[in-house]
Structure 1
Amino acid sequence: MGTSEATARATKGGRGARERILRTAVQLFAREGIHATGIAKLTEVAHVSTRTFYQHFPSKEALVSAYVQRIESDSDGPVGVEAILERSDLSARERLLELFADSPPIEEIVRGCPLHNTAVETAGTMPEAAALVERHKRQFTARLVKTAAEAGARDPETLGRQLAVLFEGARALSTSINDSQPYQDVRALAEALINQETGPT
């Protein structure tokens, strides 16, 4: 076997194939959508064979589930902002406020929350992926409730749920109108709710 042929085979498969497929899924699912991105397109862009694809992911749903988990773990991605709630250098009240401090990059506004998009696209067709998204969203709300309690909120359960609605609603509306204004509007609402529950500083 010649060197060029061996290199071509290594590019098509090998230990890096799974990672290439996942990276490709992150790019294509965000840009073109999950259902619009077929296996043929994924394998072509990822430079893997269909056989290699199915060696790593037995079905498209398995890939979508892995995609959701990748999005969750990407600290630089659109879900990474939620990590603000874990920062030890800020007080609980500051963490709640900081969550609403900045608008995301315009490309994230245009594409929307990838987890929300996954839930919409996979509703009724990919229960495992939908369940992963639901788990994440419920855990995010629970983290808000916990942080609200640490901030001394009189009713942390209600405040946490309300902040989750504001956060997710701003994301959805910004995507629908392709404008960051909802993020700017929601900051004042979030601060008013936090002040109402914890007292202004």
Structure 2
Amino acid sequence: MTESHPVRRRRGRGARERILKAATELFTAQGINATGMDQLSTVAEVSKRTLYAHFPSKDELVGAYLQSLVDDLLPVLPSPAQPTPTPTPSPRDQLLAVFDWRRPETTAPFRGCPFLNVSVEVSDPGHSAHQLAAAYKREFARRLTDIARQAGATDPETLGEQLALLFDGAAARGTALNSSHPRAYARSIAELLVDAALVDVGPASP
């Protein structure tokens, strides 16, 4: 008689964290549409019942996955009221730092920006996941605009949108080419845009 070998399930606290960790790994590696709840349950080492207790639907899990990425991926606005042990980068450096991301050391395909990926996989503009991705992209450009304003850009709104577009273009091209090299080219273009926007034109002529 052949004995079956059920998937091992872990008990105790931390099930939600394991589910989100598994979702991040699987969504990043193979996309949202190709990832099923059965696979998520197996990788997270939780029962389907536990999985649905924390996330009653896949849409809710996708939403939680996106929300978990926001703080790490949005440009950080400086807070003068909170001193830091290290010198705060200049606004110019903060704008350029957006392009300093590095590809993780892995053999997995380069996946670019998770919010762009979601907006492509979930094409319905009215879908909650698509709306979350759109909201993130708007906030991304808004934060760049705020930093550009602090840097003294003559037209911070335009610079913020230009840098956001440049970032998204590099992420999309990197995904298509399975390469992080477009990031370096994007950063060199960003330097030109930022420095042109920060040129001191001097006082206006009388």
Please give the range of the TM-score, normalised by the shorter of the 2 chains. Answer: 0.7 to 0.9
Structure 1 residue ranges, 4+ long, deviating more than 2 angstroms after superposition: 85-88, 97-109
Tell me how far 1:20 sits from its aligned partner. 1.2
- Counterpart-to-counterpart distance in 2, 1:25 and 1:68: 10
Q: SS at the partner of 1:179? A: coil
Q: How does 1:102-117 map to 2 (within 5 A)?
A: 103-105=102-104, 107=106, 110-117=110-117
Distance of aligned partners of 1:124 and 1:66 in 2 relative to their CA distance in 1, 3 Å threshold: same
Query: Which structure dedicates a bigger proportion of its chain to helix?
Result: 1
Residue 34 of structure 2 aligns to a residue whose secondary structure is coil
* C-alpha distance in 1 between matches for 2:34 and 2:126: 15
Q: How far 1:106 sits from its partner (Å)?
A: 5.8
RMSD: 2.4
Q: Kindly provide the CA deviation profile for residues 93-132 of structure 1, in whole angstroms up to 9, marking residues without a partner as x.
A: 2211232345443658712211211111122288112111
In 2, distance between residues paired with 1:104 and 1:120?
21
Q: Hey, what's the Cα distance between the residues in 2 that align with 1:152 and 1:16?
A: 46
Unaligned runs of 5+ in 1: 1-7
How many residues are matched? 185
Q: Distance in 2 between matches of 1:183 and 1:167?
A: 8
Q: Could you say if the C-alpha distance between residues 93 and 32 of structure 1 is closer, same or farther in structure 2, counting changes exceeding 3 Å?
A: same
Contact kept? 1:110, 1:178, Cα under 8 Å? yes
Aligned to 2:41: 43
Q: 2: distance between equivalents of 1:23 and 1:190?
A: 33
CA distance in structure 2 between the partners assigned to 1:19 and 1:66 by the alignment: 11
- Asked whether the equivalents of residues 109 and 180 of structure 1 are also in contact (C-alpha less than 8 Å), the reply is no
5+ residue gaps in structure 2? Answer: 1-7, 81-87, 201-206
Larger radius of gyration: 2
Change (3 A) 1:161 1:36: same
The percent of aligned pairs where both chains have the same amino acid is 45
The answer (yes or no) to whether the contact 1:92–1:148 under 8 Å persists in 2 is yes
Q: Which residue of 1 aligns with 2:174?
A: 174
**TM-score, normalized by length of structure 2?**
0.80
- Tell me whether 108-117 or 55-64 shows the greater mean CA deviation: 108-117
